A and B are shown apart, each in its own frame.
Chain A
Amino acid sequence: MLPTLPLLNDRFLGAAAFRARVGTGYSLLPLRLIALDALRYVLTNFAGEHVVLPKAIARQFIRHELDSNSAVYDELKSKHFLLDDDSTVALDLLAVKYRTKQSLLANFTSLFMFVVTLRCDHSCPYCQVSRQSVDRHAYDMTIAAADRAIDFMFHSPSPAIKVEFQGGESLLNFELIRHIVTRVNDRNVLEGRDIRFVIATNLMCLSDEILSFCKEHDVFISTSLDGPRTLHNQNRPRPGGDSYEVAVAGIGRSREALGADRVAALMTTTEASLSQPVEIVDEYVRQGFNSIFLRPLSPYGFAVKTGLVTGYSIEQWLDFYRRSLEYIVELNYRGIPFREDYSSLILRKILTPYPTGYVDLQSPAGIGISGIVFNYDGDIYASDEARMLAESGDRRFRLGNLHTDSFEEVMSSDNLIDILSETMTECVPMCVDCGF
């Protein structure tokens, strides 16, 4: 005999009375799907929800044959892949989630990179920006160009602005950095934006004067650290062969002067790095960082000329990435909190309703409308990669020049708008159906 189910007092309606309105039919809400492997599809939507389903179930669902009593039906409904007569609030929630995902668009451009010089004392074979030797001042940005860049920058409506100084070795033109920071801050008294300055530097010419300036104006330092001493010195040659010692000493000094949270490091993966995932992560831990951004070589600049880009395959890179990540996960299990930044970005996209400020992996792409580059010669580029490409002759992503073009002209140029519309996966054929 079946056990009797406990009953509600008869003044209450049973669950079935409310369930009844679900009915038998349902509509599909906007979704995309792609095979994950031989057995499963992943279904995604534009608000960032996802469900992994066995292929047979996914087919049932798409053909409107899914049983509304099944657990998978409730999952698809809860994640807003289907709509039935139970409720209409899914549409409002989807709208809010989509708006949240795209919320940074409304702020427009917030990252402004100033290439204050192309000169550099290092001679890294993987250099992606085609650096120039230390004495060639023709490769410095002029004060006039910098001033026009500042005007340009304040045309952006973004309430938060990040000013990043790039090179070459940016500190070889510290006088211009000082000029720009001072001028931006003066202007910001009226503008009232939330401004953050970052200097990307190899720390070679770090001085007390520079540090005290950074301290005074709350400037962040971002440097390169490729891994342990031998690897770093091999990747980043300079006269004396001591780029590692320079970097590590500079990191220490900067932290002491500015605070640990004001100093970040980036790594670049060369062929020599591939065999040292554990050593590289350990070096970051040893230097007191709590995260690492694992980055492959980009196919620009010297990296192409020297053949380094073809030095390893995508499979080799992925293998390196996996091994590094496994080790990082292991560190965390051991109680050492440590993050891999690229994975964090991806996971944030997959697991939360929030956007990332990262200019890649966006629809539309972040080029121009999220970040923009002012080159040393006044040329304006859609991204860091765009100016790297231009150095090797391809000026496709050049949007204009500070001396001749206004903010409006640059931002509404066919050059920019064409690229942007090509990166909107919502409307590009093929992309619009891609589950990823």
Chain B
Amino acid sequence: MIKLHGKMPKRDDGEPFVVRVVRGTPGSPLAGDREAYILGPDEVAPPGYRAYLSAGGAHLQSPGQTRVIWPIPEELSYLSDGDIVRINPKTGELWVVYRRSSPFNAMLLTERCNSNCLMCSQPPKAGDDSHLVKAYLDAIPLMAPDSAELGITGGEPTLLGGSLLQVLRACKEHLPDTALHMLSNGRLFNYLSLCREFEAIDHPDFMIGIPLYSDIPHRHDFVVQAAGAFDQTVRGIMNLARCGQRIEIRMVLHRETVDRLPQFARFVARNLPFVEHIALMGLEMMGYVKMNLEALWIDPVDYRQQLRQAVDVLRQHDLNVSIYNHQLCVLDRVLWPVARKSISDWKNEYIDKCRECAIQDSCGGFFASSSLRRSAHIAAFQSHEVCSPIAGVKKQVSNV
């Protein structure tokens, strides 16, 4: 598990700021007021940067004592050239906003949400968190334009209204070649006018992932704990399609969603066949799942049949389906070609048993949080059990 937050000594000398990390390339800064230079051992700080970071802790102050030198917390020592951090001098918080080398960068734009899903891995928090959007608006121009994909998540990003549109426009302006993937519950797209705004931005590579948890309205509403949500989300999906937006449907598999999985698949194929991708996702043991563990947990082996049927229905309808967050040993083998290595690198783990497995490289492994509960059927494959390399299991660049 890679840490994204660290604590430094507090320095009560200013407002939080966002900077791009420069490491190992001394010389004149490209955008000095928006860059932080990482000092090597005994290195003299080059002039012109917004801030200085030290991995060794040797430097406490810069020459002339005009600039503070921030000691990088041990757990963030991986920081490298092109990464983007937010430093809050008043609290000493160092937040890694963006990692240059990661294919899993996501922008958590707000923690507010109008749903309250039983299994939310990122439980909503009320209150003003506009500093998040501000940080990302500062960070977007500093991100590498050759990043393959960038995520937008929450909370519910559409609650931000105009600020969300501002973020999308900034991405289109600064990162026109970076695919943008947003997670939204889709409810506010019930308003066609919002869809029209997205259409008007006309981002060249933008997709919205929207959760749908049942073909029966009150079942979906129960899972998201919001009456009327199913109707809003389904109308939202239709409105987005009318406006030419690309849509992915996301289904999280747990005790309250797996029973009607085949019927759900049929419903999607029949009513929403225009969606570009359907992701069937395993549970992440975070947030509310911890509170509702016994009510939600079901061993993936116990829903193999429903999962197989659902994938069959979707594939028969020529829909593009993927399974996320499942270990190959709990899946029906015919589903291996749609299993993806979906877990973001910073929270992706394998357990001891996996070391003996012949196909660990093809397997997505576990969430770090899976220590709470794992399938009782995790088992290593011997090489003679798997006749050929699994070509189907691809790396899915996404934000799970």
Contact pattern, A 11-38, Cβ under 8 Å of B = 1, otherwise 0 = 1111101110110000000000000000
Q: Are the C-beta atoms of B227 and A21 separated by less than 8 Å?
A: yes
- B217: min CB distance to chain A, Å: 4
- B350 on interface, CB distance cutoff 8 Å: no
Stretch at the interface among B144-152, B159-167, B267-275: B267-275
- B295 on interface, CB distance cutoff 8 Å: yes
- A20: min CB distance to chain B, Å: 8
Across the two chains, which residue of chain B brings its CB closest to A9? B291
Q: Are the C-beta atoms of A78 and B267 separated by less than 8 Å?
A: yes
CB under 8 Å from chain B, chain A span 63-101: 74-75, 77-79, 86-89, 92-93, 96-97
- Inter-chain CA distance A364–B317, complex, in Å, is 26
- A260: min CB distance to chain B, Å: 22
- Inter-chain CA distance A356–B230, complex, in Å, is 31
- B290: min CB distance to chain A, Å: 9
- Inter-chain CA distance A87–B220, complex, in Å, is 11
Q: Are the C-beta atoms of A18 and B218 separated by less than 8 Å?
A: yes
Contact pattern, B 195-236, Cβ under 8 Å of A = 1, otherwise 0 = 000000000000000000001111101100101001100110
- A49 on interface, CB distance cutoff 8 Å: yes
Within 8 Å CB of A14, what residues of B?
222
- A56 on interface, CB distance cutoff 8 Å: no
Q: Are the C-beta atoms of A78 and B263 separated by less than 8 Å?
A: yes
Q: Are the C-beta atoms of B227 and A18 separated by less than 8 Å?
A: yes
Within 8 Å CB of B15, what residues of A?
none
Interface size grouping (class) on chain A: 20 to 34
Across the two chains, which residue of chain B brings its CB closest to A354? B273
Q: Are the C-beta atoms of A49 and B270 separated by less than 8 Å?
A: yes
- A353 on interface, CB distance cutoff 8 Å: yes
Within 8 Å CB of A15, what residues of B?
218-219, 222, 256
Within 8 Å CB of B267, what residues of A?
78
- A354: min CB distance to chain B, Å: 8
Within 8 Å CB of A77, what residues of B?
216
Using A19-B218, A96-B271 as known contacts, say yes or no to A87 and B230 having CB atoms under 8 A apart: yes
Main secondary structure of the interface of B (DSSP, over half): helix
- Inter-chain CA distance A89–B234, complex, in Å, is 7
- Inter-chain CA distance A232–B216, complex, in Å, is 55
Q: Are the C-beta atoms of B222 and A13 separated by less than 8 Å?
A: yes
Across the two chains, which residue of chain A brings its CB closest to B318? A352
Checking B225, B263, B266 against A12 with a beta-carbon cut-off of 8 angstroms, the contacting residue is: B225
- B272: min CB distance to chain A, Å: 8
- A8 on interface, CB distance cutoff 8 Å: yes
Most chain A Cβ neighbours within 10 Å, of B216, B225, B263, B273: B216
Q: Are the C-beta atoms of B230 and A89 separated by less than 8 Å?
A: yes
- B352 on interface, CB distance cutoff 8 Å: no
- A378: min CB distance to chain B, Å: 43
Using A18-B221, A21-B227, A86-B218 as known contacts, say yes or no to A353 and B256 having CB atoms under 8 A apart: no
Within 8 Å CB of B116, what residues of A?
12
Checking A6, A18, A21, A93 against B295 with a beta-carbon cut-off of 8 angstroms, the contacting residue is: A6
- A7 on interface, CB distance cutoff 8 Å: yes
Which residues of B pack against A, CB within 8 Å? 116, 118, 215-219, 221-222, 225, 227, 230-231, 234-235, 238, 255-256, 260, 263, 266-267, 269-271, 273, 288, 291-292, 294-295, 316-317
A-B contact pairs, 13 of them (CB 8 A): A6-B294, A6-B295, A7-B295, A9-B291, A12-B292, A15-B256, A18-B227, A19-B218, A21-B227, A22-B218, A92-B238, A96-B271, A353-B270
